Amino acid sequence: MFKSIRLSLLAGCIATACQAHAAPAGDLPLMPWPQQVSRPAAEGSLVLDNSVSIKISGDKLDGATERWRKRIAQQTGWQLQPAQANPAKPTINIHIKNAVDPLPKLGSDESYTLSVTADGVQLTANTRFGAMRGMETLLQLIQNGPQNTSIPFVAIKDVPRFPWRGVLLDSARHFIPVKDILRQLDGMAAAKFNVLHWHLTDDQGWRFASAKYPKLQQLASDGDFYTQAQMKEVVRYATKLGIRVVPEMDMPGHASAIAVAYPELMSAPGPYQMERHWGVLKPLLNPANEAVYKFADTMVGELAAIFPDAYLHIGGDEVDDTQWQESKPIQAFMKQQKIADTHALQTYFNQRLEKILEKHHRQMMGWDEIYHPDLPKSILIQSWQGQDALGAVAASSYRGILSTGFYLDQPQSTAYHYRNEILPQGLNEVDRITKADSAQSWFFSMPRLKGKPVEGSFTLVNNEMAWRGFIDFKGKSRRAVRDIEWLSPTQVTFTVDTWMGETRPVVTVDKDRLSGYFLVGNVRYPATGQKLDSVPDGVQPVVPAAEQMNNILGGEAALWAENISAPLLDIKLWPRAFAVAERLWSTEEVKDIDNMYQRLQAIDAWTTVSVGLQQHTAAVQQFTRLAGTTEIMPLQILAQAVEPAQYYTRQHLKFQAGNYHHFEPLNRFADALVAESSQVRAMDGWVDKLIADPEDGNSAESLRHTFTRWQSNTPDVLALIDGSYQLKALKPVAEDVDRLAGIGLRLTDMVAKQGSLSGGERDDIQKQLDKAAQTQDEVIVAAVYPLQKLLRASIK
């Protein structure tokens, strides 16, 4: 069924000549980028005024005209003339070919065509869902230009690449009020996401009201839960936007909240207390207790009455089997049922649960751990373990979606998420060593702040002065590396995207010893190792056959809430989620990173005005609270130079300090920051241009202006820091930024004048950069890295 949906969409695309540009062309601020965009040779635009009118034919979209008129009014600032009931010559004419059930389903037709000419706008779609997606494209095209408000002449043919394009919101760890969820749904619709994955239960809280098991909300929610009426409100609102809502009720693990309310359902006796700490915890439902299945049956029935989607997510991840191993009754049950081990016991539980779901006309969805050949092919597996796990699922004729690489609660660069290809990729023989090649392999060990060290090996291959390479992380498949650069005869760096984020080793390989650090995101992790005698055997990526790729239905961005509360939601999700949306909607060939950032900047502004997202107002609120005044410009300038520590560094630091729990306040400067500094990214570009052309006066002047501004800001930001105990730990960061600004001015002049530093000055600057690169108050002075490039360019 689902394969035929994918193939029919593809066939329709071919039939209508839906060819994507290799990269988006022109200055259209569209995201996700459509499958085909055509501009007329004689460019022009449709000029709008406040008489703009909308006509919808072919289906009844209750409230859509009013909603879209409001959006246009917000974008233009106009008071629109009263809407006409049935305008004869509408500005925007929307024709829907087929009236369908308003409830969105997996595989609903979301294709559309859009034409803007001097005669007006014609939007045609097979269903209401395509009309909704096409209207978001049109709203992005409305431009307030130098002369007027207009829509450029354009012809668009569009259809999504994947049918499952979701966002996971975690209401279990930090509760999210309904009003904030509805706003995220507006953002999702704008980005053409079509699934809200609502994580409703976990160890730290049960977040929905049960009629039959009321102690769940009474004892295990701290009073923060959704009534059935509120959940139905979310479903109704999502449906109007063409978005499915898939609830998640985690079982048999992540069950501490259930344990507080109904300890008799657990695998070890109570009593249990509300769990305040984050992590993988021990309470498990008891698969040998029939009352557990009665509980599951009741809960599935209650959720099915609220959430009409065909899928219900049962979690199933991170099961610590200690309680099962230590329970004599459970061990006896396993022996009686001839269940070999606890993994098979979880499969037994899932088989029982799958039958309950089938009884309520629902299909099972869960994380990687539920994958087992004894479960029917109808289940859907969400992968947090990566493309290899997803590839194995698809190759075994099970359906799956990807979340690895789309964890937006991790403050990673947008480029990292944007490069994350959903379909598993092979190595294209990067690791094939020929007689003409010279290869060297190195073992490495990278200790982390929490958990085992990351270990493995990398191999660098030289052939006629061209370098290539690959890396083998322990327990992972082999990956190709890129951007290999020898910084000196013994110091090398390269880049590879990993489950931790963008990873860039900067290591010295000398006398068979390896030392240095791995830059994971923006955080340095020390590394050691030694040379290997031979190239190690590696594990090849799991790449399904072409026809099996159809089992991969798409992916989901995930926003886990250990470090995110409702006031921070928009800051952490938007606009980065648009990059994930583009990866799920647009063709694989649309992947120019610089172009993506250019369009993302326009989308960021558009979403705050047209959609009402609050990433900027929320940041202003957080800075104002920290500063104790509305004069927050000093903090905003400081924020240009720094970023929150990336990967899971912040979580691991909290764990080391004993603060990895629900009551740790999310009130730091780091909490108010976006994932990456656009100013540092711009600086990086100016540095590259200046190094390539020392006579590039524009780049040099842009750098000088930035550094001078940072220096001038120092007295003001230090005054704010001295007046707020919540900012005290930030003082060394502000002082480092001041010193680095002085270094930046010195290095910019040195590169522009093609001078050379003395050895002593070079070493002193390197020490200051290394010091400033350390994590302080959970932030990193990201400006270190463009300065590091300038320093290297200053050494002759």
Q: 285: which DSSP letter?
A: B
Residue 250 lies in a domain: yes
Is residue 742 domain-shared with residue 658, that is, in the same domain? yes
**Which residues are CB-contacts of 355 (< 8 A; sequence separation ≥ 6)?**
none
Please give the pLDDT value at position 784.
98
Separation between Cα atoms, residue 540 and residue 523, nearest integer Å: 28
Q: Are 356 and 294 in contact (CB under 8 A)?
A: no
Is residue 44 domain-shared with residue 131, that is, in the same domain? yes
Average pLDDT over residues 368-394: 95
Question: Residue 264 sits in a domain of what CATH number?
Answer: 3.20.20.80
- What is the torsion angle, in degrees rounded to the nearest 10, for the CA atoms of residue 62, residue 64, residue 66 and residue 72? 180
Separation between Cα atoms, residue 110 and residue 112, nearest integer Å: 7
Asked if pLDDT for residue 21 goes beyond 70, the answer is no
User: Is 778 in the active site?
Assistant: no
Task: Report the amino acid identity of residue 533.
Answer: D
Q: 363 is written with which tokens? A: 């299909």
Helices in 328-406 by DSSP H: which ranges? 328-337, 342-359, 387-395
Is residue 106 domain-shared with residue 246, that is, in the same domain? no
Residue 752 lies in a domain: yes
Residue 288 host element (H or E): none
Q: Please say which residue of 158, 176, 197 terminates a domain.
A: 158
- Kindly tell me the sign of the dihedral angle through the C-alpha atoms of 486, 488, 490, 491: negative
Q: Indicate left, alpha or beta for 434 from its phi (over 0: left) and psi (-120 to 50: alpha).
A: beta
If DSSP states are collapsed to H, E and C, what string results for 553-611? EEEEEEECCCCCCHHHHHHHHCCCHHHHHHHHHCCCCCCCHHHHHHHHHHHHHHHHHHH
Q: Please say which residue of 133, 158, 183 terminates a domain.
A: 158
Is residue 138 domain-shared with residue 173, that is, in the same domain? no
Question: Residue 46 sits in a domain of what CATH number?
Answer: 3.30.379.10
Residue 79 — very low, low, confident or very high, per pLDDT cuts 50/70/90? very high
Residue 263 host element (H or E): none
* Top-confidence residue, 13 or 297: 297
Q: 199: which DSSP letter?
A: E
Q: How many CB atoms lie within 10 A of CB 709?
A: 13
Average pLDDT over residues 291-305: 98
Residue 377 — very low, low, confident or very high, per pLDDT cuts 50/70/90? very high
Asked if pLDDT for residue 128 goes beyond 90, the answer is yes
Backbone angles phi, psi at 124, to 5 degrees: -120, 135
pLDDT digits (tens, 9 = 90+) for 345-356: 999 999 999 999
Residue with tokens 């004892």: 219
Name residue 115's beta-bridge partners.
122, 155
What would you measure as the largest C-alpha separation in the chain, in angstroms? 82
- Residue 291's domain spans which residues? 164-421+552-556
Asked if pLDDT for residue 121 goes beyond 80, the answer is yes
Average pLDDT over residues 7-30: 50
Asked if pLDDT for residue 7 goes beyond 90, the answer is no
Please give the pLDDT value at position 680.
98
pLDDT digits (tens, 9 = 90+) for 624-678: 999 999 999 999 999 999 999 999 999 999 999 999 999 999 999 999 999 999 9
Residue 14 — very low, low, confident or very high, per pLDDT cuts 50/70/90? very low
Residue 627 CA to its chain's centroid (Å): 30
Average pLDDT over residues 184-204: 98
Of the candidates 180, 224, 317, 318, the residue annotated as catalytic is: 318
pLDDT digits (tens, 9 = 90+) for 750-760: 999 988 898 89
List, as one string, the DSSP characters of 484-519.
EEESSSSEEEEEEEETTEEEEEEEEEETTEEEEEEE
Is residue 727 domain-shared with residue 784, that is, in the same domain? yes
Residue 680 host element (H or E): helix 678-692
Q: Are 371 and 346 in contact (CB under 8 A)?
A: no
pLDDT digits (tens, 9 = 90+) for 570-611: 999 999 999 999 999 999 999 999 999 999 999 999 999 999
Residue 694's nearest CA partner among 737, 653, 754, 745 is 754
Q: What angle do CA 229, 233, 234 make, to 5 degrees?
A: 125
Share of the chain above pLDDT 70, in %: 97
Is residue 193 domain-shared with residue 328, that is, in the same domain? yes
Residue 6 — very low, low, confident or very high, per pLDDT cuts 50/70/90? very low
pLDDT digits (tens, 9 = 90+) for 676-702: 999 999 999 999 999 999 999 999 999
Name residue 143's beta-bridge partners.
150
Rounded to the nearest 10 degrees, what angle do helices 678-692 and 697-722 cross at? 150
Residue 26 — very low, low, confident or very high, per pLDDT cuts 50/70/90? low
Residue 69 host element (H or E): helix 64-76
Please give the pLDDT value at position 490.
96
Asked if pLDDT for residue 295 goes beyond 80, the answer is yes
Residue 442 — very low, low, confident or very high, per pLDDT cuts 50/70/90? very high
Is residue 278 domain-shared with residue 390, that is, in the same domain? yes
List, as one string, the DSSP characters of 728-772.
GGGHHHHHHHHHHHHHHHHHHHHHHTT----HHHHHHHHHHHHHH
Asked if pLDDT for residue 2 goes beyond 50, the answer is no
Please give the pLDDT value at position 42.
81
Is residue 168 domain-shared with residue 146, that is, in the same domain? no
Q: 369: which DSSP letter?
A: G
Q: What's the helix, strand, coil split of the chain in %, to 5?
A: 40, 20, 40
Residue 417 lies in a domain: yes
Please give the pLDDT value at position 381.
98
User: Is 254 in the active site?
Assistant: yes
Q: How many CB atoms lie within 10 A of CB 770?
A: 13
Residue with tokens 């660069």: 413
Of the candidates 109, 158, 202, 321, the residue annotated as catalytic is: 202
- Kindly tell me the sign of the dihedral angle through the C-alpha atoms of 705, 710, 711, 712: positive
Separation between Cα atoms, residue 355 and residue 737, nearest integer Å: 60
Question: Residue 455 sits in a domain of what CATH number?
Answer: 2.40.128.120
Please give the pLDDT value at position 493.
97
Q: Are 527 and 445 in contact (CB under 8 A)?
A: yes
The number of residues in the chain equals: 796
Of the candidates 174, 199, 254, 417, the residue annotated as catalytic is: 254
Say how many Å lie between the first and final Cα of the chain, rounded. 64
Q: Please say which residue of 131, 158, 185 terminates a domain.
A: 158
Residue 590 lies in a domain: no
Q: Are 390 and 424 in contact (CB under 8 A)?
A: yes
Task: Report the amino acid identity of residue 243.
Answer: I
Is residue 403 domain-shared with residue 265, that is, in the same domain? yes
Encode burial over 344-367: b for 16+ CB neighbours within 10 A, e otherwise.
Answer: ebbbbbbeebbebbeeeebbbbbb
Residue 464 — very low, low, confident or very high, per pLDDT cuts 50/70/90? confident
Average pLDDT taken over every residue of the chain: 95
Residue 386 lies in a domain: yes
Residue 654 lies in a domain: yes
Is residue 336 domain-shared with residue 372, that is, in the same domain? yes
Classified as helix, coil or strand, 226 is: strand
Residue 233 lies in a domain: yes
Domain count, the chain: 4
Residue 25 — very low, low, confident or very high, per pLDDT cuts 50/70/90? low
Q: 413 is written with which tokens? A: 């660069």
**Which residues are CB-contacts of 139 (< 8 A; sequence separation ≥ 6)?**
68, 71, 72, 75, 190, 606, 610
Backbone angles phi, psi at 399, to 5 degrees: -95, 145
Return the half-sphere exposure (C-beta side, CA atoms, 13 A cut-off) of residue 253. Answer: 23
User: Is 582 in the active site?
Assistant: no
Name residue 305's beta-bridge partners.
none
Q: 301: which DSSP letter?
A: H
Is residue 310 domain-shared with residue 386, that is, in the same domain? yes
Q: What angle do CA 477, 278, 649 make, to 5 degrees?
A: 55
Is residue 526 domain-shared with residue 384, that is, in the same domain? no
Residue 183 lies in a domain: yes
